[in-house]
Homo-oligomer: A and B are copies of this chain.
């Protein structure tokens, strides 16, 4: 990285803008399922965990704050996709349990999300996909 090293101007805003566009594209594709990306992500973690998780663990796996999960589960419960039960092992803890409708919806949403993802990234060559992975890893490591 020599004296001439200069990142593209407005790389920051470009990255944020594209990420926003990509996110909203996926959201649109997801809309027919009645799911948002955050809701799908929560259902996905539950399915991957075998159907249920304490809210605190779910927050960890979603990399967000616990109060956010409380509200997200409120909405998913309102949709009938999740229920809350007591944790038999610890009276302080609540379990989020996915319902049958929740599993169906998850399968549908996952399919739509993967279609959208394939569509978006199919415009990149193998080489570009590889480059992107490297660059994102570098950016993530501060």
A contacts, CB < 8 Å to B: 1-2, 4-8, 11-12, 14-23, 25-26, 37, 63, 113, 116-118, 120-126, 128-136, 138-142
Contact of A18 among B1, B63, B124, B139 (CB under 8 A): B139
Also in contact, A22 and B12, with CB within 8 A (given A120-B139, A131-B135): yes
Are B11 and A132 interface neighbours, CB within 8 A? Answer: yes
- Between A and B, 22 residue pairs with Cβ closer than 8 Å are A1-B126, A7-B121, A7-B122, A7-B129, A12-B26, A12-B113, A12-B117, A15-B22, A15-B136, A16-B19, A17-B63, A17-B140, A18-B136, A19-B19, A21-B140, A25-B142, A120-B139, A120-B142, A123-B139, A128-B131, A128-B135, A132-B135
